[in-house]
Amino acid sequence: MQFELEPKHVHIITSEAAAVARRLQRRLGLPVCEREDLAQDLLVDLLRRLPAYDPAKGGLGAFSGLILRNQASRIAMKIMRERRAAGGFTVSLDAPAAEDDPRPLFEAISDTQGLAAWHGQHLSEAEKQQGRISIETALAQLPHCGQRLCAALSVNSVNTLCKGGFGSRSAIYRRISELRVVLTAHGLGASWDDLAAV
């Protein structure tokens, strides 16, 4: 039987979602501004599952509570997984930098400490230029077909290259694996100091 939503039900659902979002935000140590986003994520899941609600089996509050709790634990697991992947807690850039420093965090972090720098993105013009010279020097050591493959890979996916006459997928991946070692030997790739330390 299709359950018809009345205004009093909407109130039950939204207040349940708000309560669960508040608990989740506190438990995960998230900033208060995240609370509404969490409530919306919880509500979306609840509304999707609402057609399965059968009033004969229990109250809407109990049904909502169960669904919201399950979704809350899924959200918590996702956030914890992201934190583990990021190597620690994520904090809001709008939060104060420190107890004695009221500036927002984004004003206190330099470019070189940012996420882009962690992932190896060159930020200063000098670094970009140096990177470009290193790439051009290493590419010069490759045969023409290797240079062409590198250039093609920088703008196309492997699937596109298959259609563009670069060979089969497995052949392209074999060549990439070979190129990885060759480019490493010419200075583009993991450094010996990093690898030897492992």
Burial state string for 152-165 with b = 16 or more CB within 10 A and e = fewer than 16: bbeeeeeeebbeee
Residue 87 CB, nearest approach to another protein (Å): 24
Residue 125 CB, nearest approach to another protein (Å): 16
C-beta of 55 vs 187, nearer to another protein: 187
Q: Is 171 in the site for another protein (CB under 8 A)?
A: no
Stretch that binds another protein, among 11-19, 55-63, 110-118, 180-188 (CB under 8 A): 180-188
Residue selected from 69, 152, 167, 179 as contacting another protein according to rule CB under 8 A: 152
Q: Is 197 in the site for another protein (CB under 8 A)?
A: no
Q: Which residues bind another protein (CB under 8 A)?
A: 132-133, 135-137, 139-142, 147-148, 150-152, 154-156, 160-161, 164, 166, 180-182, 184-196
